[in-house]
Amino acid sequence: MDMMVRGFPSTMMDEQLNVINMMKYAAKFFSRKEIASRRLDGTMFRYNYAEAFKRVSKLANALEGLGVKVGDRIGVLSWNTHRFYELYFAIPGVGAVLVQMNLRLHPDELVYVAKHSGTKLIFVDESLLPLVIPLLDAVKVKVVVMSDGKPPQTFFETYNYEDLLKEQDDKYDFPVIDERSAYSACYTSGTTGKPKGVYYSHRAIVLHSLAILSALRIDKSDTYLQLVPMFHAQGWGAFFAATIAGAKLVFPGRFTIDDLKPIVDLILSEKVTVTAGAPAIFIPMLNYLQKLEEKPNFNLRAFSGATEPPLAMMKGLKEFGIEIIHAYGATETTPLVCYNFIRPELEELSEDEKWEIKRKQGIPVFGVDVKLVDENGKELPWDGKTVGELCIRGPWVVGEYYKDPRTFESFIEDENGKWWRSGDAATIDEHGYIKIVDRFKDLIKSGGEWISSVDLENYIMAHPKVFEACVIGVPHPKWQERPLAIVVPKPEHKGKITKEEIKEHLAKRFAKWQIPDDVLFVEEIPKTSVGKFSKRTLREMYKDYYSK
């Protein structure tokens, strides 16, 4: 392992990178820039950075009044609102840790997160109060209700967020926090076993925010819409970058992917120029836009993270003025690892060749190192063909899981130090572009050969009659596993598409042995708490499908 060499001492100051300083900066230099937040009734709450900082200071005073001490863990159960935004600065500002509580977790998992983290106080959106009730028997917590009106009566004691703020001074002397202290915690969505705790440092999120700032090219002229749930890897952290840039911020409140009209209307009315989200939101958004008689035109660039975004989605959204920038990351990486752009020496390629590049995850951002390894930990070449496990290290990459023995199996070490094992099967080409082939656990082993479920899914979703598609490996008595395709047709094509059409479509690209043995048409595909296909659920549902 490399030993750090201490050179000649510098004459530079050693200022701590603290989360609250991002808000202080915006309040000082972009004081009048607007922040807009959509209420549950659809109306908008509007204020600016200067007013937001005053509320953050009041909130810090309120936290102190509630007995919050340095290092205390404070849970938040909320939609994407201005109040959640305020909590992201006030809680770490007083030296406490914001615990991002995923409202889509099973109640038992929420209880686990609260107990494992040692949460002492929970801020909860009024509409999510039922989620708090199972926690009350398991952990001793105070509850603060966030509401646009008078909170409802409850059988347990609560505090009112707005009432707490009214009583406080709008000035607070924020302490200087050691930048290596935790500012927030996020628990993985638990695809295997209990959720694992990742505790992000002040230093990590400030450096990560600067990386996002560069990658998304956010500046003071932009309007950023926070679509990614703020309880998931701090909503990918772009709202921090937008704060530093002095961009206008828009919080959508509660919404569902089943009805994206409010979101599309919000993008148009607030003149949104930057956002981020998974294909789980952009695929139905494209479907909605294509049905409109009057086609809107956007000036929007959007990060989208997935194993591989469907090319049809990227091209379709481009026609509406929406540029999809493919990126990759994980809860454990804060999350940005890489993003896609065309390297200067590749600008002369044809448009079709560029589109093929844009489908890849992209090139690592400065500060992050990546490598591919085989099952024995041996490093593999960057040739665009050799598949290995993607391993990652950097200043905003997890170094261990909080109080979790699974830390041991999740990291490897070499002469350069510790690397986090992503569990993703990937290739890296000679230009440095990462391509995620699949999750290792989702690769399909059939007759001794590997089949990528992702490649099949994306090609199926390129079919004009298909809305969504998921492919899983199902145990087979002869071939070990065989692919099974689960397909959601577009509404106008329900009952009008056949499995033969899907197989004929796949035959244009794939060998016969790679094509799923069967295709099932369903109303919807189960999703995980962060909007990804829940292949674990599907594998359990169809584990005996080829054995019957």
Domain boundary among 222, 257, 276: 276
Cα–Cα distance between 407 and 197 in angstroms, integer? 10
**Residue whose pair of structure tokens reads 């080409």 in the numeric block:** 429
**CA triplet 475, 476, 480: central angle to 5 degrees?**
80
Nearest to 186 by CA among 111, 94, 81, 75: 75
Tell me, yes or no, whether 548 lies in a domain.
no
DSSP string, 461-494: HTSTTEEEEEEEEEEETTTEEEEEEEEEE-GGGT
Q: Within 10 Å of residue 74's Cβ, how many Cβ atoms?
A: 27
Q: Write the pLDDT tens digit of every residue in 456-475.
A: 998 999 999 999 999 999 99
Tell me what the mean pLDDT of segment 5-16 comes to: 96
Q: What is the pLDDT of residue 152?
A: 82
Task: Indicate whether 182 and 246 sit together in one domain.
Answer: yes
For residue 257, give the DSSP letter.
Answer: T
**Residue whose pair of structure tokens reads 């660039």 in the numeric block:** 301
Supply the range of the domain harboring residue 512: 443-541
For residue 3, give the DSSP letter.
Answer: P
Tell me, yes or no, whether 472 lies in a domain.
yes
Q: Write the pLDDT tens digit of every residue in 96-150.
A: 999 999 998 889 999 999 999 999 999 999 999 999 999 998 899 999 999 998 8
Q: For 426, phi and psi rounded to 5 degrees? A: -145, 165
Cα–Cα distance between 166 and 180 in angstroms, integer? 33
Look up 537 and say whether it is catalytic: no
Cα–Cα distance between 541 and 247 in angstroms, integer? 46
Band of the pLDDT at 289, cuts 50, 70, 90?
Answer: very high
Q: Which amino acid is at 380?
A: L
Catalytic option among 332, 389, 457, 468: 332
Asked if the model's pLDDT at residue 367 lies above 80, the reply is yes
Catalytic option among 188, 223, 275, 334: 188
Tell me, yes or no, whether 424 lies in a domain.
yes
Catalytic option among 445, 494, 496, 543: 445
Look up 386 and say whether it is catalytic: no
Q: What is the pLDDT of residue 416?
A: 82
Q: What is the pLDDT of residue 476?
A: 92
Task: Indicate whether 88 and 201 sit together in one domain.
Answer: yes
Which residues are bridge partners to 47 per DSSP? Answer: 35
Task: Indicate whether 227 and 353 sit together in one domain.
Answer: no
Q: Percent of the chain beyond pLDDT 90?
A: 84
Q: Which amino acid is at 29?
A: F
Band of the pLDDT at 447, cuts 50, 70, 90?
Answer: confident
Task: Indicate whether 360 and 498 sit together in one domain.
Answer: no
Task: Indicate whether 385 and 530 sit together in one domain.
Answer: no
Look up 188 and say whether it is catalytic: yes
Tell me, yes or no, whether 463 lies in a domain.
yes
Cα–Cα distance between 180 and 168 in angstroms, integer? 29
Task: Indicate whether 474 and 524 sit together in one domain.
Answer: yes
Task: Indicate whether 418 and 460 sit together in one domain.
Answer: no
Asked if the model's pLDDT at residue 279 lies above 90, the reply is no
Look up 81 and say whether it is catalytic: no
For residue 217, give the DSSP letter.
Answer: T
Q: What is the pLDDT of residue 286?
A: 95
> In total, how many domains does the chain have?
3
- pTM, full prediction: 0.90
Strands 411-414 and 449-451: unpaired
Q: Write the pLDDT tens digit of every residue in 297-356.
A: 999 999 998 667 788 899 999 999 999 999 999 999 999 999 999 999 999 999 999 999
Cα–Cα distance between 524 and 534 in angstroms, integer? 11
For residue 152, give the DSSP letter.
Answer: P
Spell out the alpha helix ranges (H) of 7-69: 20-29, 49-65
Catalytic option among 150, 171, 295, 450: 450
Domain boundary among 249, 276, 303: 276
Q: What is the pLDDT of residue 189?
A: 72
Please report, for residues 100, 294, 434, the alpha-carbon distance to residue 427 in angstroms, rounded to integers and kept in the order given. Answer: 32, 42, 6
